[in-house]
Amino acid sequence: MEVIPVIDLKDGAVVRARLGRREFYAPIESRLAATSGPADIVAGLLSLHPFATIYIADLNAIDARGDHEDVLFSLEEAFPQVGFWVDAGVKDAGEARSWLLRHKRATLVLGTETLGSSATLEILKDEERIILSLDFRGETFIGPEALLSAQHIWPSRVIAMTLGRIGANAGPDLSRIASLKALSDRKVYAAGGVRGTEDLAALDRAGVDGALVASALHDGQLTSQELAAPIMAKGIL
């Protein structure tokens, strides 16, 4: 099971996400870096462990308040060994294809929160550099309702994004993950709530393919030694 660090970008800085309430997100204070600058945070994460993949949420783009395109280009150039997964607030297939042309080595995350309709996935379902993020706030699905029952157009990788558990030290949403695993044979990645190795082990037992993690890395709940141990070599549990 792959461990994937998460970086939330807001107004040029990496911020600490909590409960999905973006209006209250403030620049992160991390044990891994001296500043909240995106390049500093990525370098700090890579000093902790040679992560192959890093997830970036462009919160300005998601909220339609500008974007971090220049920051992303800079990170792609500075860290060519990293595969970036990026939620850039894309709304439709045209925007998705334009983004993929600009970022030829990155993977685009389509968050249901900003998708206009399920037709976007129908058009893009065979695109390899697409991941679907199924976004939930509490028990409420955020996005086109038809997507939940249209598993045939889901891409090969799906994120179970539980916004209310992000940064809340509440543990992963195992019941929702089990429900999504039962719906299709897609790879499922868990986002929200991971506190440490016990949660990662629980997700592994649930058959999850990867976990998106932020606070546990920045606060020292997942150490370099734990990430480098044989059971988690190369981010594998």
Alpha-carbon dihedral 119, 125, 129, 130, rounded to 10 degrees: 50
pLDDT at 230: 52
The predicted model scores a pTM of: 0.93
In 64-219, the DSSP E strands lie at: 83-87, 107-111, 130-137, 140-142, 157-162, 187-191, 210-213
From 60, 89, 85, select the one nearest 75 (Cα to Cα): 85
CA gap 1, 180 in Å, rounded? 17
Q: Is 227 helix (H, G, I), strand (E, B) or coil?
A: helix
Query: pLDDT value at position 229?
Result: 72
Q: Is the distance from CB of 124 to CB of 130 less than 8 angstroms?
A: yes
Over residues 33-45, the pLDDT tens digits come to 999 999 999 999 9
| Domain membership of residue 154 as a residue range | 2-235
Structure tokens at 235: 């981010």
Name the band, by pLDDT with cuts 50, 70 and 90, for residue 158. Answer: very high
Strand, helix or coil at 203?
helix
Where residue 235 falls among pLDDT bands split at 50, 70, 90?
very low
20 falls in which pLDDT band (50, 70, 90)?
low
Mean pLDDT of 213-235: 78
Domain count, the chain: 1
Quick one: pLDDT band at residue 168, thresholds 50, 70, 90? low
- Alpha carbon distance 135, 211 (integer Å): 15
What's the CATH code of the domain at 63? Answer: 3.20.20.70
The per-residue pLDDT for range 46-95, each reduced to its tens digit, is 999 999 999 999 999 999 999 999 999 999 999 999 999 999 999 999 99
pLDDT at position 16 is 84
Going by pLDDT thresholds of 50, 70 and 90, the confidence category of residue 19 is: low
Higher pLDDT residue, 168 or 104? 104
* pLDDT tens digits, one per residue of 191-206: 988 999 999 999 999 9
Asked whether residue 174 carries a pLDDT value surpassing 80, the answer given is yes
Paired tokens of 205:
């037992």
